[in-house]
Structure 1
């Protein structure tokens, strides 16, 4: 597997725009907090390290990954944000619940983006186990929260241009 060979959060090959003046909402799941906490920290660091300001970041905590959809919708309905970052973690269990939740969350987040014509970033880990999730939440494969922040910055600039 290619991901076992590298840190997936390497941005050295792209020019990341400045986050200065951009407003972000980070909608984060409280479920699997040992994973979503580091994802949140990575997203905040990603924004701040690229010129963003703390006062331009709103954090909205929701119970689980399924509720990321409503959280993003509420943020865009009530706030003036350049991009929304959705962070969550769904770990495979013994039932098909994993499949239903992952599918619903992916579709729901994309529907919110289309509804408001704003970038809504999918920063949801869908892993086989906790170890894989931790590896992607600041572990050996980088931090998907930071990746989501970089994506939000880039997409906010694209959205404002076109």
Structure 2
């Protein structure tokens, strides 16, 4: 989690496994695409940095963050996929819609991982405003796409 004391892109090198033969699916929300594209780029850069092959990284887009769990489920059920990374951004608005979407997405992504017994990573920003999103998508607080990718790698080494 990004705070004023910790950058999202900082992590320990413990539990890093060989991912050269692993296949990753990345599900990306098209909503808030300026943010989600940056998250995607961060995730891919991190996967490649730690040894994933470009041809073993598969991207699928969904319309919004609410659709991430179903997109993740469609990919997680494929035997050849070792981990799924879900990337989205839901920015707080003036209504409770934000709360319902964030809750549904978090629970849905969790359920998919448990159902398919493989890493399904929550890489969804839930900021109060656009600037906070930018700060966490390659800005002053790092890139949550980075964090999501390293989480998938570490979970594969569990």
Q: Report the alpha carbon displacement of residue 20 of structure 1 after superposing the two structures with TM.
A: 1.1
Q: Distance in 1 between matches of 2:152 and 2:6?
A: 23
Q: Report the alpha carbon displacement of residue 157 of structure 1 after superposing the two structures with TM.
A: 2.0
Q: TM-score, normalized by length of structure 1?
A: 0.92
Contact 2:89-2:126 at 8 Å conserved across structures: yes
Partner in structure 1 of residue 68 of structure 2: 68
Gaps of 5+ in 2: none
- RMSD over aligned Cα, in angstroms? 1.3
Q: Distance in 2 between matches of 1:17 and 1:146?
A: 16
* CA spacing shift, 1:119–1:6, aligned 2, 3 Å: closer
Partner in structure 2 of residue 14 of structure 1: 13
Q: Deviations over 1:107-138 (max 9, x none)?
A: 00001111111110000000100100110000
Partner in structure 1 of residue 142 of structure 2: 142
Q: TM-score, normalized by length of structure 2?
A: 0.94
Partner in structure 2 of residue 44 of structure 1: 44
**What pairs up with 1:88-127 in 2 under 5 angstroms?**
88-127=88-127
Q: Which moved more, 1:67-76 or 1:13-22?
A: 13-22
Q: Report the alpha carbon displacement of residue 79 of structure 1 after superposing the two structures with TM.
A: 4.8
Q: Report the alpha carbon displacement of residue 6 of structure 1 after superposing the two structures with TM.
A: 4.2
Q: Which moved more, 1:71-80 or 1:47-56?
A: 71-80
Q: Report the alpha carbon displacement of residue 78 of structure 1 after superposing the two structures with TM.
A: 3.5
Gaps of 5+ in 1: none
Q: Distance in 2 between matches of 1:17 and 1:6?
A: 24
Contact 2:8-2:146 at 8 Å conserved across structures: no
Look up the SS of the partner of 2:25 in the other structure.
Answer: strand
Partner in structure 2 of residue 58 of structure 1: 58
Q: Deviations over 1:73-104 (max 9, x none)?
A: 11122352111000000000000000000000
Q: Distance in 2 between matches of 1:93 and 1:110?
A: 24
How many residue pairs end up in the alignment?
156
